[in-house]
Structure 1
Amino acid sequence: MIIPLRFPDGRLDYSRLGEWFALCDACSVRTLLSDVDNWLVSRTTRGRVYCPGCARRAAERLLAEVFPAGPRHARPGGGVRIAVAWLRKALRGRAYRPRHGR
């Protein structure tokens, strides 16, 4: 969630945009909007905002659903299991790089 600063009359204060807060929708961690480079922020106004840790966990959970690696679902040779392990390793080693911003 983005928490904007407002003028006393209730209008949004865009002159202090860097001082607005971003609040993670999953764990309630907050940061200044100017420090949100590695956060996952939706492009829509009704979208959700995730800190790097929650974004990584959500991505791992989605990958595990798409590429089930259990013994029942494994292909001969374990190709799916290798793909999931590689993707999890890549997600742990790197912070999320947003498409917006710098």
Structure 2
Amino acid sequence: MAKQITFVYDGKEYTLEFTRKSIETMEKQGFVASDITEKPMSTLPALFAGAFIAHHKFVKRELIDEIFDKLTNKQELIGKLAEMYNEPILSLMDEPAEDEGNVKWGASW
């Protein structure tokens, strides 16, 4: 099961998660994970906002920023978000579980 963060804000339950599709959407919107060290003021809130795409893609950025401002223990939160963000990327490179039906490839050099 994918890693998720859940919380309740203003009486509504939120589930944050990253999927391959949500990360692809973030990348198309210009998100670059390696920018975290160079541009933390824009990249860290964007990472948080990106976690809404999988389950709450129609939540306005204003509300997402409001929620982010009110969350406690942000340092641990960012660490968990980074861990969640990496999970779908690592799964992209996983080998298929079973051999039957998989495509084998070869190189000519």
User: With structure 1 as the length reference, what TM-score do the two structures score?
Assistant: 0.26
Higher helix share: 2
Q: TM-score, normalised by structure 2?
A: 0.25
Indicate the structure (1 or 2) with the bigger Cα radius of gyration: 1
| Structure with larger RCO (C-alpha < 8 A, sep 6+) | 2
